[in-house]
Structure 1
């Protein structure tokens, strides 16, 4: 008769594994000696090796008992089913490995491949890395919220950056990041951008530039991300509003006359309050001496 340790040694498992198989009902409890210790016969060694072999092959313990009791046909069918499940798991793990490999590039985190390719294209065109970060940070919540629309949006972006005028916008905005809000080149950029947006709206339709499916609150969140990364963008949007358009993520037509009056009123309040309006500087830079 064998002790539990000897049984485990002969079968090539640990004592803990033997106890676990007992607890799961896979290995029958043996008789005990007068001291209360388990004592096993040769049949237990054979049974334990069969359990170990099935478990080692990836068979779930919940199915091991059925396989131990199955006839040849049932055993073959069960093994085929388990093999297919393991193949599916291997394919899924391979996909995980591919995703992990893509994470070597920071852009790949939480972004689909087509967006990563678009960001790389911006870099190859010489766009400032901070502007690329604005794009990246905007794509992350967009892709998470509406993954089914990413291919459509990326295709539109690719079409847009094929135009020299829009690439010039990206490059100019990148150079503006290190300038003050009153830099006249921001106004020039707003003129060019307003002309471009108006032309696109006239040629392609309003929906091409104003995606109605983006909720205003979500667009506001996206705008905040852009403004935090590229502060001059806030001033640019204010200038753009004076030219008939507003919004960074969700573009909308506005009355430029009302926009100019609103901007003047905010600046007037800011000057009366020593450069502070409602606890904020409108626009950024107005609080500077």
Structure 2
């Protein structure tokens, strides 16, 4: 007969674990002998090893008793269910690892790869990190609201980068936000270029469901130069950042 310490040692667990299994009803608790100690037999060792093996495999303790009592067919069916659940958990953890890896690389884990690729293209074109940060924050809002739709918008955004005027606009805006005190000549160049692009654009209103006010507020929060640019655009007859509209 074995003491609880010897039982735990044979099964490769701690005495605390054995007592916990007693408390949850997984391992029957033997009566105490005349000396007041609990004594365990070989069958208890086997039972404890089975419990430990299932627990180490990720089976919840609440399901182990049913598995131990099931026949071969029931056991196999239960194991398949557990395996499917573990496979799902592994897939979710792998997704989490990929998100952490993107975060460690400097990208935002909450953005889909297509958006991250678009931001990478902007960076390669020479767009400043401050402008990129604003773009990224805007995409975070859009991706949170429309996680499936945002990836369908990216091809059009990438196609727009073939227009050298749009690239020039990004670079001018990068210069404006990074310059200590840009004069109105730089801002005028931005407004001229933006107004020309807007005049040629075939605008399709995507609908009121888009958070235009929220995205415009994000742009306005970029600093006082953003408000000055918006004022100059109003003077040209345009208002808004996300959805530019004609004003009288």
Considering the TM-score relative to the shorter chain, is it more than 0.5? yes
Identify if the C-alpha distance between structure 1 residues 120 and 62 changes in structure 2 by more than 3 Å, giving closer, same or farther: same
Structure whose alpha-carbon radius of gyration is higher: 1
In the other structure, the counterpart of 1:260 is none
The answer to whether the 8 Å contact 2:100/2:109 transfers is: no
Identify if the C-alpha distance between structure 1 residues 75 and 206 changes in structure 2 by more than 3 Å, giving closer, same or farther: closer
Question: Alpha-carbon deviation of 1:221?
Answer: 3.4
Q: How does 1:42-121 map to 2 (within 5 A)?
A: 42-121=42-121
In the other structure, the counterpart of 2:186 is 185
Question: Alpha-carbon deviation of 1:22?
Answer: 0.7
Q: How does 1:2-17 map to 2 (within 5 A)?
A: 2-17=2-17
The answer to whether the 8 Å contact 1:214/1:250 transfers is: no
In the other structure, the counterpart of 1:163 is 163
Deviations 1:107-158 (A, max 9, x none): 2232221111111111111122221122112222222122233123323322
**Residue ranges of structure 1 left out of the alignment (5+ in a row):** 256-289
In the other structure, the counterpart of 1:33 is 33
The answer to whether the 8 Å contact 1:130/1:230 transfers is: no
Match of 1:213 among 206, 209, 214: 209
TM-score w.r.t. the length of structure 1 is: 0.78
Match of 1:246 among 225, 239, 244: 239
Quick one: distance in 1 between partners of 2:245 and 2:230?
A: 11
Quick one: distance in 2 between partners of 1:128 and 1:234?
A: 19
Identify if the C-alpha distance between structure 1 residues 43 and 185 changes in structure 2 by more than 3 Å, giving closer, same or farther: closer
Quick one: distance in 2 between partners of 1:112 and 1:142?
A: 11
Question: Alpha-carbon deviation of 1:74?
Answer: 1.6
Query: Mean Cα displacement is larger for which, 30-39 or 190-199?
Result: 30-39
The answer to whether the 8 Å contact 1:186/1:236 transfers is: yes
The answer to whether the 8 Å contact 1:245/1:252 transfers is: yes
Quick one: distance in 1 between partners of 2:225 and 2:161?
A: 21
Question: Alpha-carbon deviation of 1:51?
Answer: 1.3
Identify if the C-alpha distance between structure 1 residues 156 and 234 changes in structure 2 by more than 3 Å, giving closer, same or farther: farther
TM-score w.r.t. the length of structure 2 is: 0.90
Question: Alpha-carbon deviation of 1:11?
Answer: 1.7
The answer to whether the 8 Å contact 1:59/1:82 transfers is: yes
Question: Alpha-carbon deviation of 1:181?
Answer: 6.1
Identify if the C-alpha distance between structure 1 residues 206 and 47 changes in structure 2 by more than 3 Å, giving closer, same or farther: closer
Q: CA RMSD in A?
A: 2.1
Please state whether the residue corresponding to 2:221 is helix, strand or coil. Answer: helix
